[in-house]
Structure 1
Amino acid sequence: MKSKRSYSRATRVAQNILEVAASLLMSEVKDPRIEHVQLNEVKLTPDLRIAKVYYILIDSDKFDEEAQTGLESCAGFVRRQLGDRLDLRHIPEIHFIWDESVHEGRRIEKLLSEIKYSDEEEK
């Protein structure tokens, strides 16, 4: 029963981190390198010490080194703000990670539509 309880706590904490971090990036961080960043998901380690924050770029399907650098430069600020806004014993380290799954999903959709189009042409 303990693992189920810790899972729900980790899920709640991850959701809170996502909401606060997204709000901070939109309203308080004034770095032009991260203007087109959208946070998708937060995954926490079981001990809640490390938060992997997954993001995409709204206007691009490709990894952008500048956006990554901008996010890394504001990670300390985000962590401090999380400490002020969330009631946690330990504030997790923040690691921003480009979410390749969205890019892969779009690539697969494109391939499937090409297959469907070629099947329709054959008929």
Structure 2
Amino acid sequence: MPRQATSPHRIHRIADQIQRDLSELIPRELRDPRMGLVTIADVQLTPDYAHARVYFTVLGAEPDHVMAALNERAGYLHSLLFKRLRIHTVPTLHFVFDESTRKASDMNSLIAQAVASSAKDD
């Protein structure tokens, strides 16, 4: 019997649930003041649910340090998710710093400079 394709809606529901659970678990279970304030921005699952790329932002800490700490504790967070989620396969977690907020801030600065320069020329 052929296996049915994975529903994209189910993937999004599970990714959203993982995002909510990690947002709660990280500050409660990984009480490391050097990590600053970690925010889970997005979770992307592979179609087979084997891997989850977890995008995060951070305030008050170095992103590379936080990414290393999160990836080091990914197995522990995986075990906590396993207890919460009611799915057959809980994905392996891979934490990645989300550059989009930094890029958006840089773009806003460039736009502000261009507007100021244009206003000065007029």
TM more than 0.5: yes
RMSD between aligned residues = 1.7
Change (3 A) 1:11 1:30: same
Q: Is residue 57–residue 98 contact of structure 2 (8 Å, CA) maintained in 1?
A: yes
1:65-104 → structure 2 map (5 Å cutoff): 65-104=64-103
For the residue of structure 2 that corresponds to 1:90, the secondary structure is coil
| Letter of the structure 2 residue corresponding to residue 12 of structure 1 | R
For the residue of structure 1 that corresponds to 2:7, the secondary structure is helix
Q: Shift of residue 25 of structure 1?
A: 0.8
Count of matched residue pairs: 119
The two structures have a TM-score, normalised by structure 1, of 0.88
C-alpha separation between the residues in 2 aligned to 1:41 and 1:52? 8
| Letter of the structure 1 residue corresponding to residue 19 of structure 2 | L
Gaps of 5+ in 1: none
In the TM superposition, structure 1's runs of 4+ consecutive aligned residues that sit over 6 Å from their partners are none
Q: Shift of residue 64 of structure 1?
A: 2.8
C-alpha separation between the residues in 2 aligned to 1:28 and 1:15? 20
Percent identity over the alignment is: 28
C-alpha separation between the residues in 1 aligned to 2:49 and 2:55? 16
Q: Is residue 21–residue 81 contact of structure 2 (8 Å, CA) maintained in 1?
A: yes
Q: Is residue 33–residue 70 contact of structure 1 (8 Å, CA) maintained in 2?
A: no
- Please name the residue that 1:15 is paired with: 16
